[in-house]
Amino acid sequence: QLQESGPGLVKPSETLSLTCTVSGGSISSNTYYWVWIRQPPGKGLEWIGSFDYSGSTYYSPSLNSRVTISVDTSKNQFFLKLSSVSAADTAVYYCARGSLWYNFDYWGQGTLVTVSS
């Protein structure tokens, strides 16, 4: 299981920070990617970034300059930081597990983050 947590409201220009807690399996497994995906209200899915067991990270080209994904294997958690947010970053943010061929077979329930002053 995956569970997102973090503030539901972030002010413009500030940094959005979310945590994904993984249970029922190790985040250190060499079989999976771990990803962040978001979905603005009424719109489609957008990949934010991923990391793999070796610690390599991959980011969406459109968000690359503002995104950092990190991991704490001791807590079986991984994190998303998105800087300089604006209203366009308002979305439901999901964390998910991906197979080596990027089949996202387990998703968190998603958490709505609203960017507003």
Partner 1 sequence: NFMLTQPHSVSESPGKTVTISCTRSSGSIASNFVQWYQQRPGSSPTTVIYEDNQRPSGVPDRFSGSIDSSSNSASLTISGLKTEDEADYYCQSYDTSNHVVFGGGTKLTVL
Give the footprint of partner 1 on this chain (CB under 8 A): 33, 35, 37, 44-47, 50, 52, 56, 58, 60-61, 94, 98-99, 101-105, 107-110
Query: Buried b / exposed e across 63-100, counting CB within 10 Å, b at 16+?
Result: beebbebebeeeebbbbbebeebeeebbbbbbbbbbee
Shorter beta-carbon distance to partner 1: residue 21 or 60: 60
Least gap, CB of 72 to partner 1 (angstroms)? 22
Which two three-digit tokens encode residue 72?
């704490």
Query: Taking the complex as a whole, how short is the minimal distance between the CB of residue 62 and partner 1, in angstroms?
Result: 9
d(CA 50, CA 4): 15
Shortest spacing between CB 96 and partner 1, in angstroms: 8
